[in-house]
Amino acid sequence: MNGMAETRGKTAYLAGLAAEDIVAQDYARRGRPVVTRRWRGPGGEIDLIARDGDCVVFIEVKKSSSFARAADRLTRRQMDRIYASATQFIAGEPRGLMTDCRFDVALVDAMGAVRIIENAFMDA
């Protein structure tokens, strides 16, 4: 049984990497290059970090069978951890904590389609 859990875990990990690749390509096509992947800060990992002009874009990638199921996987606790890590990241930027930034959520469905929700944390 432990081998099955390992296999499922590895499959989920690889699916997550593939979803991040798809999202990174989507951002690049729109002129917002991903500059960092899987950046780890005090709150945990930020999946992707992109640039949109002078704005730093922190991207949480969620993959599931549908966009709705993927969106349901984002929790308040995860958002708080991403904020904590993002704060440390932008502290190292030339403008420090005055750096313009936003938090996007990229949803990926079972077919590999992408839906981006810009400023997804605004009302959270």
Examine residue 28 and state whether it is found in any structural domain, yes or no: yes
Give backbone dihedrals phi and psi of 53, rounded to 5 degrees, phi first: 65, -125
The number of domains in the chain is 1
pLDDT digits (tens, 9 = 90+) for 18-45: 899 999 999 999 999 999 999 999 889 9
pLDDT digits (tens, 9 = 90+) for 83-116: 999 999 999 999 999 999 999 999 999 999 999 9
Examine residue 122 and state whether it is found in any structural domain, yes or no: no
Examine residue 30 and state whether it is found in any structural domain, yes or no: yes
Examine residue 17 and state whether it is found in any structural domain, yes or no: yes
Q: At 15, which CATH number? A: 3.40.1350.10
Examine residue 124 and state whether it is found in any structural domain, yes or no: no
CA distances from 121 to 59, 63, 102, 106 (A): 11, 18, 8, 12
pLDDT digits (tens, 9 = 90+) for 55-73: 999 999 999 999 999 999 8
Q: Which range of residues forms the domain containing residue 9?
A: 2-117
pTM comes to 0.88
